[in-house]
Chains A and B, each alone.
Chain A
Amino acid sequence: MKILDELFYTEDHEWIRQENGEIIEGITDYAQSELSDIVYIELPEKGIEVHKGEAIGTIEAVKTVSDLYAALSGTVIEVNGELEGHPELINKDPYDTGWIVRIKISNPKELEGLLDAEEYKEIIEGEE
């Protein structure tokens, strides 16, 4: 299972890339592999305010449905529109073209609560 060292993670299997007060969020390789065959994604609207841990979208896979949670509080400034026509990008390329939302964060302190690659790896190993 691919875990990138430069990213942060949540226990809900989202990854976070930090960039000057903004984050890009997606779901991890482990999450996409567990869900498998993603066929539809409901994205949050641009401009809405979100709170850490809040369900902001839905990921539908063939067998199951899963919520997408905001990894941190802030404002959604961009969503990956490509996913509407090509939700399978999340399966194929979860850390790059399969990214999901960009959030301008409102509480930088929350960053401290994220997991690093090593910690996230332990969580996955616990679940397997």
Chain B
Amino acid sequence: MAEKKRGIMKKTPLYEKHIMHNGKMVDFANFKMPIQYSSIIKEVKAVRESVGLFDVSHMGEIEVSGADALDFVNWVTTNNVANLEVWQAQYTTMLYPEGGIVDDLLVYRLPERILLVVNASNQDKDFEWIMENKKGNIEIKNRGEYYFQLALQGPLSKKVMKKILKEDPDEIKFYWAKEEEISGIKVIISRTGYTGEDGFEIYGDAKVGSKVWDLLMKAGETTGIHITPCGLGARDILRLEMGYCLYGNDISRDTIPLEAGLSWIVKMDKSDFIGKESLAKKKEEGLTRKLIGMNLEGRAIPRHGYLIYKEGKQIGEVTSGYYSPTLGYPIAMGYVARPFYEIGTKLEIEIRKKMIEGEVITLPFWKNGSLKR
């Protein structure tokens, strides 16, 4: 913690790999991370058409164990943990009592513990929040330093995994995980990702992170599949093409899951959870705005913070915007006021004092991903 305040950046266990692959390193959530290697466009294409490898070891991990672990996690998160079987995972949010979002995260039910995978930038905040709300017979550990995390993503990722697993990768279903030993290294392999493509996320002891990177790269070579190292830039675009939220951009303490299109991970009919009462109230009052996706005319790119208008009146703001390399045109997500969030509504985004026309569309932007639920 003291280190962070002095602004010293941490390195992930894969740092040497990034340098070796000419990663362009930037400071992100207290880590030195590669924003890109060769080109963001090429990296996005690799994930959509073949396979890419991301170091996401900056993500935070929090472990909860003890007799009341399941009940406790069900109390601090919005999805229903009680429904999870051992080795199953779920996407969820943690809320403040007012309904604003503490973080979005993955919950894994492992045999002896529950593993929470949280955003790098929120790791300490999340840990403190969980500690503050601690109840029952549980033990909580901040384990970000222990784990490496790699994401192998793309339609060909399964072929690469087949090479290093003893069993068929399809034994691991979407949003399920498994403990595996690859070349004598114990890892957790999960069928998850943030790209909209078929893919795997691999967790394990930070000490062996770079060995697992090498094993994956080598498995690619022996199967004749080139694995492209991918940076945070590609990751951000891939997730936006899928309409996935990024904490700090599209969701925050000031947004509630219902308006962010995340109602599907809020189970109002489960046992009580932090934020439930506020959400119920807001649901009854009706939502005043929603997070929407927009296609735009022309090629100017909408960016975070640009304003959205309807007939000259400001009705919203862009939270994420990029040029989509997969689609070949600019895309944006943002919050717009009721009733302008209906699909098909024509809106304008102000880009450098010009009004650019756009239309509210059904998310995701990219509908042809290899991800099969």
Q: Smallest CB-CB separation from A42: which chain B residue? A: B300
Residues of chain A in range 53-110 having any CB-CB distance to chain B below 8 Å: 58, 60, 62-63, 65
Q: In the bound complex, do residue A60 and residue B40 qualify as a contact, i.e. CB atoms below 8 Å apart?
A: no
A40 touches B40 (CB 8 A): no
A63 CA / B36 CA spacing, docked (Å) = 10
Find the A residue at minimum CB distance from B24. Answer: A36
Least Cβ–Cβ distance between A37 and chain B, in angstroms? 5
Give the docked Cα–Cα distance between A40 and B41 (Å): 13
Chain A CB within 8 A of B48 CB: no
Residue from B233, B299, B300, B352 within 8 A of A63 (CB atoms): B233
| Contact indicator per residue, chain B 291-333, by CB within 8 Å of chain A (1) or not (0) | 0000000011101000000000000000000110100000000
B142 within 8 A of A: no
Residues 230-256 of B, flagged 1 when their CB comes within 8 A of A and 0 if not, give: 000100010000000000000000000
Please determine whether B41 and A62 come into contact, CB atoms closer than 8 angstroms: yes
Instruction: Please indicate the chain A residues that have their CB under 8 angstroms from the CB of B35 in the complex.
Output: 63
A43 CB-CB contact with B under 8 Å: no
Q: What is the total number of residues of chain B having a CB less than 8 Å from a CB of chain A? A: 16
Is A3 on the interface with B (CB-CB < 8 A)?
no
Contact between B300 and A60, CB atoms less than 8 A apart = yes
Question: Is B121 at the interface (CB under 8 A from chain A)?
Answer: no
With A58-B352, A62-B325, A63-B35 as known contacts, state yes or no: A37 contacts B40, CB within 8 Å.
Answer: yes
B327 to chain A, nearest CB (A): 12
**Bound Cα distance from A39 to B36, whole angstroms:** 16
B39 at interface (Cβ–Cβ under 8 A)?
A: yes
- In the complex, chain B residues 11-53 whose Cβ is within 8 Å of any chain A Cβ: 24, 35-36, 39-41
**Does B39 lie within 8 Å of A39, measured CB to CB?**
no
What is the chain A residue whose CB lies nearest that of B325? A62
Given the contacts A36-B36, A37-B40, A62 and B303 also touching, CB distance less than 8 Å: no
Known contacts A62-B40, A62-B237, A40 near B352 by CB under 8 Å = no
- Which residues of chain A have C-beta atoms less than 8 A from B24's C-beta? 36
Is the CB–CB distance between A60 and B323 below 8 Å? yes
CA distance A37 to B325 in the complex (A): 10
A36 vs B322: C-alpha distance in the bound complex, in angstroms? 14
Assembled-state Cα–Cα distance A40/B301 (Å):
8
**Which residue from A37, A39, A40, A65 sits with its C-beta under 8 Å from B303?**
A65
Contacts of B300 on A, CB cut-off 8 Å? Answer: 40, 42, 58, 60
Report the minimum CB–CB distance from A40 to chain B (whole Å): 4
Query: Nearest-CB distance from B23 to chain A (Å)?
Result: 12
Q: How far is the CA of A63 from the CA of B41 in the complex (A)?
A: 10
On whether the beta carbons of A39 and B352 are closer than 8 Å, the reply is no
Shortest CB distance A82–B (Å): 15
Tell me which residues from 320 to 356 in chain B have a Cβ below 8 Å from any Cβ of chain A. 322-323, 325, 352
Q: Name B233's contact: one of A39, A60, A62 (CB within 8 Å).
A: A62
Which A-chain residue is minimally distant from B303 (CB atoms)? A65
Q: In the assembled complex, how far is the CB of residue B174 from the closest CB belonging to chain A, in whole angstroms?
A: 29
B36 contact set on A, CB distance < 8 A: 36, 63
Contacts of A40 in B (CB 8 A): 299-301, 323
Which chain A residues lie closer than 8 Å to B301 at the CB level? 39-40, 60, 65
| B233 contacts across to A, CB distance below 8 A | 62-63
Determine the distance from Cα of A39 to Cα of B301 in the docked complex, in whole angstroms. 9
A37 pairs with B39, CB closer than 8 A? yes
Once bound together, how far apart are the Cα atoms of A29 and B337, in whole Å? 44
- A39 & B299 in contact (Cβ 8 Å cutoff): yes
Given contacts A40-B300, A42-B300, contact A62 B352 (CB under 8 A): no
Residue on A nearest B42 in the bound complex, by CB: A37
Give min CB distance, B283 to chain A, whole Å. 37
Interface string of B195-209 (1 = CB under 8 A from A): 000000000000000
Which residues on A sit within 8 Å (CB–CB) of B303? Answer: 65
Select one of A36, A42, A60 contacting B39, CB under 8 A: A36
Residues of chain B within 8 A (CB-CB) of A62 are: 40-41, 233, 237, 322-323, 325
Query: Within the complex, what minimum Cβ distance (angstroms) separates A71 from chain B?
Result: 21
Q: Please name 13 further chain A to chain B contacts, defined as beta carbons within 8 Å, in addition to the given A39-B323, A40-B300, sorted by A numbering.
A: A37-B39, A37-B40, A39-B41, A39-B301, A42-B300, A58-B300, A58-B352, A60-B299, A62-B40, A62-B237, A62-B322, A62-B323, A62-B325
Q: Could you show 5 A-B contacts with beta carbons less than 8 Å apart?
A: A37-B41, A42-B300, A60-B299, A62-B40, A63-B233
Instruction: Please give the residue numbers on chain B whose beta carbons come within 8 Å of chain A beta carbons, in ascending order.
Output: 24, 35-36, 39-41, 233, 237, 299-301, 303, 322-323, 325, 352
**4 closest residue pairs by CB, A with B:** A40-B299, A39-B323, A62-B40, A37-B41
